[in-house]
Structure formats: C-alpha cells, structure tokens
Amino acid sequence: MLQIAGALCAIALGTPEPAAAESTVIFADAIYTSNGDVIENGAVTIVDGKISAITPGKTPGDDDVHVGAITAGMIDLSARVVRGLDTVEQTNEVTPQMRVEHAIDWFDAEWGRQRKSGVTTVLLSPQDQNVIGGLSVAVKTAGSPELEERAVKRDACLRGAMGQQPSSGNHSAWGRPTDFFSRRPTTRMGVEWEWRKAFFDAAQARAAGTEATPDAQGLLDVLDGKRPLFIQAWATQDIRTAVFFKEEMASEGFGEVTLILDAAAEAWREPELLVRSKAAVVLPPLPDYGRAEDGAFMALSTAKKLVDAGVPVALSSHGAKADRDRLAMQGALARRGGLSLEEALEAVTITPAKMIGIDDRVGSVEVGKDADLALWNGEPFQATSRVVGTVIDGVLLVDPQQN
C-alpha cells in the first residue's frame, strides 16, 4: 500500500525516474537490529525492497507509520505450510531426492497467518514419516506465487528423522492383509539402521568407483558438506543417535556432516554433546508442563541452557497454529526461561538465518538486506505486546494502523 502511495506521489511530482523516489519510511520507538544494537526513536528507510538506511533520532509525522518496535522479520525453520501426506513420499523410506518445493500450495491460507504473526521466512521440509524425507526449501511468506521468486534458498538442507515417528504406523506384512503401512522400519533401531545403510551404501559405492545414483548423490552432497543435515530428534536417545551418526561418518572417513537438530526438546540435558559435535538446535514450542513428543521433556530453561553453552539455538512453531506456539510468544517464553531480549531475538532471526546460510539476505535489520520486518506495538517478546505489522521485501503486508 505504501509502495503504491509512493509511486503515485512520484508521478504527481512528475519525477522522471520514479525508482529513486519509491522509498518507504517506518518509524519506531526502538529498532532492534539483531546485531546487538538497539536504536531508540529511529526510522528504517526502504528502497526497492531493501533496507537503504537506518536513522536514529527521527520524529514521525502524523501520517507516518509509527510503531513501538521494529525487529527483523522472524524465521521459522520448522514451519508447516504444506503438511501431512503431501510431503511424505511413501514409495520408499529413504527419498533424498524428493523436494518439498514441488508440493507447495502458494495459495494456502496459512501464508497469511504466518505473515500476521511476523514470520517472513520459513523453511519447509518433508514431514517425518520417512527416515530421510528429502530436500527442504526456504521461502518468503509473501511475494510472487512462483518458486523461483519466492525461494530464499532451494535445497537448503536434507531432512530426516530419528525416533519413533518414521516407524509410527508401519507394521510387518505378516498375518494381516498388505496395506499402505506394510513396510519397514517398524522400530527405533530400524530407523537408525536405515540411516546407516543409506549412507554406508552411498559412500562405499563411491569408494568402489561406481557412478552414484541420484538418491546416493543426495546423500554424498551432505557428506561433502554441500548442505546441512536437518534431523528431527525429540528425546535424548535420538539426539545422541544423530550426533553419534555424524561422528561415525567422520571417523569412517565418509565426510563431515553439518548437523541441525529439529524439535530437540531434550537438548538441555547434554549441551556439551552438541558443543562437541558443533550441532545447531531448532526447538519446538514449549509444551504445557514440559511434556513433548517421543517421551521428551522440555524444560522452560532449555533455550537458556543451550545459549549459555554456546549452542546455536533457533525457536520454531513446529507447525503448531495456536497464537501461543508461534514465534513471537515462543520468544517471550524463552525469556521467561532466562534468555535476554537480545538472545530471544537472535533465536528467531539471525541465528536460524545463519544455520541455513541465508544471513546474507535476511535475519537482521541492516542496510542492504531484504526489507523483511516485524512491527510490534511494544517491547518485543513480552506478554503485553504483539506483532501488529509485517513488511516483506519492502511491502507493508500487515498494516499496523489497521490491526
């Protein structure tokens, strides 16, 4: 809306080159940059969808957009816009070449809800009924309904899962009619075996000089460090399995895996293990009474313990839709667990951006970066305030004056 207004203005003034005049300015009592700076009474100037200036000590006029606080747009690495069976290719348990980007409905109502909650970039992944589900894609929550333009990073990581979920619902084929779930693995150990077998086969085939199949190539890319491995592991035993798997790949000489753990609710138990393996952690929403999935217990101070240990931590909604489970409130609950405002902010902006290597474009309020902003009516990550506006690529999609 503001962009249109800007354009009209430019025409009215008869400016020959409207590009230079197409600037939007948003004022705030405080701008939290995600780089450790807080700029009081500042303004963010946007030109051509990028942040062109951050100016302190600016006073807004009556018609200007003025909010309590500006932060970078939030990044949810475990979002679910496409969900359920649409993202699980059931023909095999190991499908490293499946791309979730081919299952995205750009017209899903969930995009609007994501935007409304201040989330501007999401990482979409195949869900976890497969052991190795496929390739994730990072996209903006608004913009053109074309993958090429919406994507921030394609094939951002390879997604898989430890624990019970890949085997849940599966059963052996004996003694009952064959159906959809007559397949392996049927246990936790079966899941682990599938992981090992897939990577060993790929690595040994390469060692033998055999040309890699497309599936094997997807695994070799991970071993070669081309993209991180994004593994869902709720409970301590599954977190250990993931870490030991990574270490095994290194000790076998197959390659150095970059590990990101998703939904690692119990990561607080052994932060030193994560430090040792240089793993990053994506946390699920804090459950009532701490009881998460797969028997995991998530303490209120989980994020705090990990940050203190030096583990990179990102908060996520894990696909939950309730207001409380979305990032703004998860940041607030992380503060209740002991994080500072600045640490909570980093855990939903610059840290997740760095994890998947998109921090050159998004994740902080910095000149030259994409103008993706969350606008708040008060102190960010506080029970008494909320996201009232969202800017993506310079476009004011949720207007704080109407919200």
Give the binding range for another protein (CB under 8 A) out of 55-63, 83-91, 191-199, 252-260.
83-91
- Identify which of residues 109 and 208 has a Cβ nearer to another protein in the complex: 109
Q: Which of 386, 395, 396, 398 binds another protein (CB under 8 A)?
A: 386
The burial of 132, by beta-carbon neighbours within 10 Å (0-12 exposed, 13-18 middle, 19 or more buried), is given as buried
Total interface residues for another protein by CB under 8 A:
38
Across the strands, what pairs with 231?
A: 160, 261
DSSP annotation string for 328-379:
HHHHHHHHHTT--HHHHHHHHTHHHHHHTT-TTTSSS--TTSB--EEEESSS
**Site membership for another protein, residue 186 (CB under 8 A):** no
Give the pair of three-digit tokens for residue 230: 């994004």
For another protein, the binding residue among 50, 58, 99, 113 (CB under 8 A) is 113
Residue 11 engages another protein in binding (rule: CB under 8 A): no
> Segment contacting another protein (CB under 8 A): 132-140, 154-162, 190-198, 378-386?
378-386
From residue 124 to residue 153, what is the string marking binding to another protein with x (rule CB under 8 A)? Answer: ---x-x------------------------
Q: Nearest 5°: phi and psi at 186?
A: -115, 0
* Integer Cα distance of 53 and 45 in angstroms: 5
- Assess 84 for contact with another protein (CB under 8 A): yes
Residue among 136, 118, 119, 127 nearest 76 (CA): 119
Site for another protein in 311-350 (CB under 8 A): 323-324, 332-333, 335-337
With residue 387 as reference, give the H or E element that holds it.
strand 387-392
Q: Which stretch binds another protein (CB under 8 A): 134-142, 192-200, 274-282, 297-305?
A: 297-305
Piece in contact with another protein (CB under 8 A), picked from 12-20, 106-114, 138-146, 242-250 = 106-114
Least distance CB 332 / another protein (angstroms): 4
Strands 132-135 and 65-72: unpaired
Nearer Cβ to another protein (240/269): 269
**3-state DSSP call for residue 105?**
coil
CA 252, 255, 258, 264 dihedral sign is negative
Contact range with another protein by CB under 8 A, out of 53-61, 77-85, 216-224, 250-258: 77-85
Among 169, 252, 276, 360, binds another protein (CB under 8 A): 169
Q: Binding to another protein by residue 300, rule CB under 8 A?
A: yes
The tally of CA atoms less than 13 A away on the side-chain side of residue 112 is: 4
In sequence order, what are the residues at sequence separation of 6 or more whose Cβ sits closer than 8 angstroms to the Cβ of residue 92? Answer: 130
Q: Which amino acid type is present at position 13?
A: L
SS3 36: coil
Is 108 a binder of another protein (CB under 8 A)?
Answer: no
Which segment (184-192, 239-247, 256-264, 282-290) binds another protein by CB under 8 A? Answer: 282-290
The residues that touch another protein, with contacts defined as CB under 8 A, are: 83-85, 109, 112-113, 127, 129, 168-169, 181, 268-269, 288-291, 295, 297, 299-302, 323-324, 332-333, 335-337, 377-378, 381-386
